[in-house]
Amino acid sequence: MRPVVCIVGRPNVGKSTLFNRIVGSRIAITEDRPGVTRDRIYAEAEWLNNYFILIDTGGIEPYSDDIILSQIKRQAEVAIDTADIILFVVDGLDGVTSTDREIANLLRKSGKKVILVCNKVDTPKTPDIVYEFYELGFGEPTVVSAGQSLGLGDLLDKVIENFPEGKDTEYEEGVIKVSIIGKPNVGKSSLINNVLGEDRVIVSNIPGTTRDAIDTPFTYREDKYVFIDTAGVRRKRNVSENVERYSVIRTLTAIERSDISILMIDATEGVTEQDAKIAGYAHERGKGLIIAVNKWDLIEKANNTYREFEKNIRNKLSFVIYAPIIFVSAKTGKRVDKLLQLIKKVYNSYTQKISTGVLNDIINEAVLLSPPPTDKGKSLKIYYGTQIGVKPPKFAIFINNAKLLHFSYERYIENQIRSHFGYEGTPIRFQFREKG
């Protein structure tokens, strides 16, 4: 699980410049794949082999010259809600402004780790104006020039030094982390309330982490689960606000922190583009996925209503073919127990380990059944495979020549492995390695 670093600050201090510099070419933009985030606001970043998620809160809403204070405050709130570390950017040419002070007040109250970044210091010598920023109460500003790429290494050193300890073991091993995702009004809060409101689960309290306030741990049939970021789901903000873009950030960070995501789809609306985008994200991040079609009580059913729905979903979300589909009603509680059982099942796939011996039996059989095609007299040889990881399951497959490997054959191997082991609800990953 990756720490989340948010950039905040008033307009024009250089947030997006800094974001782009840190993220570099790593930005998650892949035009030809569905569901990949295209906004330049959220990306995976890396420094000295430390991976983290970087968010530019200034990019959440489109800028205009008269960006209002309430908007800036909302961005700071998103950062406070989701970040492990906040980069508070100020402008070293302008000095301290009243808006800087307002943001500083919000951030100080949050108790979050804040690194004060003084940008636009384009010269090696630190100008006196920088010392003004001490008054904001975050100690010595880290001086950078995003424009000239100066000081970024020192800044990133500071960022990784402040990563929370034991981020990977936020919950004890075996606790199943679940996020409920989907567009507004699809029934996320209703589902959570239904699960927690009945006698079927025991809601527990795990003391200690700062995430307590937003996560809900519970026990179901002796297994421990935690709903990730339920506060974000349950908290209803003012409807007149444009909350949608903010909920994207929440959704992305919730997926990031969970093992399994339940994508809720509104039965009365069918699959929308936003649904596809969210599904794509869970897929890309290698998370388990369940598709829950909600409000099923509102649908008039004929003989093949289910199948029609399913077909439509498979069509539109073909890249997550492994995700099971379940038809529920958060309102009546129909099949909510089944959904909980399905989570457990998907978690088993997500963490499943198979022995090298068994894996190679399957691979050998697959190769015999359908040998790799030859290319100009050369043919792909698969030597052997071995599982190298879980969450999701990852395999290393040793081959003679990577150039001879075609996507369709890779897909074939995946399908053969799936047909033996199921892997319901989880993506599986392959690394093909050449071996002389």
Taking a C-beta distance cutoff of 8 angstroms, is the pair 187, 294 a contact? yes
Q: Which two tokens stand for residue 84?
A: 């492990």
Q: Residues 331 to 370: which contact ligand GDP by CB under 6 A?
A: 331
Q: How far is the CB of 116 from ligand GDP (least distance, A)?
A: 15
**Interaction of residue 185 with ligand GDP, rule CB under 6 A:** yes
The runs of H, that is alpha helices, within 173-239 are 188-197, 230-234
Q: What share of the chain is helix, strand, coil (3-state, %, to 5)?
A: 40, 20, 40
CB of 101 to ligand GDP, least distance (A): 17
Q: Nearest approach, Cβ of 385 to ligand GDP (angstroms)?
A: 41
286 lies in the site for ligand GDP, by CB under 6 A: no
Which tokens go with 263?
């994508």
Which residues participate in the annotated binding site for GTP? 9-16, 56-60, 119-122, 182-189, 229-233, 294-297
Q: Which is nearer to ligand GDP, 251 or 426 (CB)?
A: 251
**Of 77, 157, 297, 337, the one binding ligand GDP by CB under 6 A:** 297
- β-pairing, 374-375 vs 325-327, is unpaired
Residue 84 CA, chain-centre distance (Å), reads 15
Site pattern 224..253 for ligand GDP (x: CB under 6 A): ---------x--------------------
Number of other residues whose CB lies within 10 A of the CB of residue 361: 12
Cα(13)–Cα(147) distance, integer angstroms = 11
The DSSP call for residue 276 is: H
Which residue number, 46 or 297, has a Cβ lying nearer to ligand GDP? Answer: 297
Binds ligand GDP (CB under 6 A): choice among 112, 188, 250, 285? 188
The neighbouring-strand residues paired with 25 are: none
The residue (of 104 and 233) whose beta carbon lies closer to ligand GDP is 233
Give whichever of 334 and 418 is closer to ligand GDP, judged by the CB atom: 334
Q: Judged by CB under 6 A, how many residues of this single chain contact ligand GDP? A: 32
For residues 9 and 141, which CB has a smaller minimum distance to ligand GDP in the complex? Answer: 9
Binding track, positions 135-164, relative to ligand GDP; x by CB under 6 A = ----------xxxx----------------
Number of Cα atoms under 13 Å in the Cβ half of residue 123: 8
- Residue 332 contacts residue 297 (beta carbons within 8 Å): yes
Residue 102: both structure tokens together = 């307002």
Q: Which of 355, 183, 389, 385 is nearest to 286 (CA)?
A: 389
CB 182 within 8 A of CB 255: no
Which residues inside 103-122 make contact with ligand GDP, applying CB under 6 A? 119-120, 122
Instruction: Give residues with Cβ within 8 angstroms of 436, minimum separation 6.
Output: none
Do 92 and 123 meet the contact criterion of CB atoms below 8 Å apart?
A: no
Among 3, 14, 141, 151, binds ligand GDP (CB under 6 A): 14
b/e map 126-135, b = 16+ CB within 10 Å: eeeebebbee
* Binder of ligand GDP out of 75, 142, 190, 426 (CB under 6 A): 190
Single out the residue of 12, 99, 110, 162 in contact with ligand GDP (rule: CB under 6 A). Answer: 12
What mask, x for binding ligand GDP by CB under 6 A, covers residues 365 to 404?
A: ----------------------------------------
Q: Is 22 in the site for ligand GDP (CB under 6 A)?
A: no
And the tokens for 264?
A: 């809720």
Give the residues lining the site for ligand GDP (CB under 6 A).
9, 11-17, 58, 119-120, 122, 145-148, 182, 184-190, 233, 294-295, 297-298, 329-331
